[in-house]
Amino acid sequence: MTEAQPAPAPRPLPPVLLLGVPGAGKGTQAKRLSLRYHIPHLSTGDIFREMAHAESDLAKRVWNDMRQGNLVSDDLVCQVVAERLQRDDCRSGYILDGFPRTLPQARWLMQFLESGPRAAARVIVIYLTVGYNDLYRRLLGRRSCPACGRIYNDFTQPPRHAGVCDLDQSPLVQRKDDDPAVIRERLSAYEQQTLPLVEFFRGRGSLLELSGGEAVDRVTGRLFAAIEQAAPESPAAGAL
Ligand SMILES: [Zn+2]
C-alpha cells in the first residue's frame, strides 16, 4: 500500500479533533488516521444516523427536536456525544469530526474530558486550512454526470471534452449548492462558526494548523508526524 513505514503499535492517544472548512479533506484524513492508529472515526453525522435506530429516551428527544424543525440544542448534542465517547472502542483514543461545532460545545468537551473516569485533559486539535481561493475554485469546478453519477472537476479532474461525460457523453451539471453565491455563503458561515473554536484551542496551546491545500498524501504524512510529536511513544504510556 502507500504506507512506507509499518504502523506503530497501538497505544493510548489523546482525543483527536478535526476542524476545517468543507472541502478541506477532513473525512479522507480521518479515515487514514483511524486505520493507522486503530481508533474510531466519529463524525457527528454518523453518530446521529446511528441513533436513528436507538430506542433510548435521548434518541427520542433528539428526534422530537428535529421533527419540529429545530436545531438540536448544544446540550442535547453534547449528551449524545458523551454517550458515544463512553463506549469501549473509545478507550485508546478516537477522532472527532464535526464536533465541537460551537464554543459551548468546546467548553463542555474540555470539562467532560477533565472530569471523566479516564482523565484526558489533553487533546490534539488539527485545523486543516485551505486557502479561500483554492477552496472556492475547487468547489466551483465540481461537475457531475446526471446519467452515471461520475464526478469531475474543471480544475483538478477535467473530462476529456469540456462539459461532457467521458463515459456516456451526457452534458455535465453543477450541483445546486455548488453555485458561486451558495459556496461563498457556506464558507463564510463556516468560518464565522469555526474561528472562535480555533482561537479557543489555540489559547490552550493544543492547536496544530496544517495546510490541507497540498496533495492528499503529503497532508497525511504531516498529520501522522504531528500526532507522533504530540503523543510520543513512551514506555509508560502502555501502563496508564
Ligand atoms: Zn456519465
Domain segments of the chain as ranges: 16-131+191-239
Predicted TM-score (pTM) of this structure: 0.74
How far, in Å, is the centroid of ligand 1 from the Cα of 29?
Answer: 28
How far, in Å, is the centroid of ligand 1 from the Cα of 162?
Answer: 13
- pLDDT > 60? residue 234: no
Query: Exactly one of 101, 107, 150, 184 is catalytic; which is it?
Result: 101
Query: What value does the mean pLDDT take over residues 31-55?
Result: 87
Task: In whole angstroms, give the CA distance from residue 223 to residue 227.
Answer: 6
Q: Tens of pLDDT along 184-205?
A: 787 788 788 888 999 999 988 7
- pLDDT > 60? residue 9: no
Task: Band the pLDDT of 137: cuts 50, 70, 90.
Answer: confident
List of E strands, 117-188: 124-129, 142-144, 151-153
How far, in Å, is the centroid of ligand 1 from the Cα of 168?
Answer: 5
How far, in Å, is the centroid of ligand 1 from the Cα of 106?
Answer: 43
User: Is 101 one of the catalytic residues?
Assistant: yes
User: Is 150 one of the catalytic residues?
Assistant: no
Query: What value does the mean pLDDT take over residues 206-235?
Result: 81
Query: Exactly one of 26, 84, 138, 143 is catalytic; which is it?
Result: 26
User: Is 87 one of the catalytic residues?
Assistant: no
Query: C-alpha distances in angstroms, 240 versus 24, 32, 53, 118, 226?
Result: 34, 25, 35, 10, 22
User: Is 142 one of the catalytic residues?
Assistant: yes
Domain covering 16-131+191-239, topology? Rossmann fold (3.40.50)
Task: Band the pLDDT of 233: cuts 50, 70, 90.
Answer: low
What one-character DSSP code corresponds to residue 171?
B
How far, in Å, is the centroid of ligand 1 from the Cα of 152?
Answer: 10
Q: Tens of pLDDT along 60-104?
A: 888 887 777 777 889 989 999 999 999 999 988 999 998 999 999
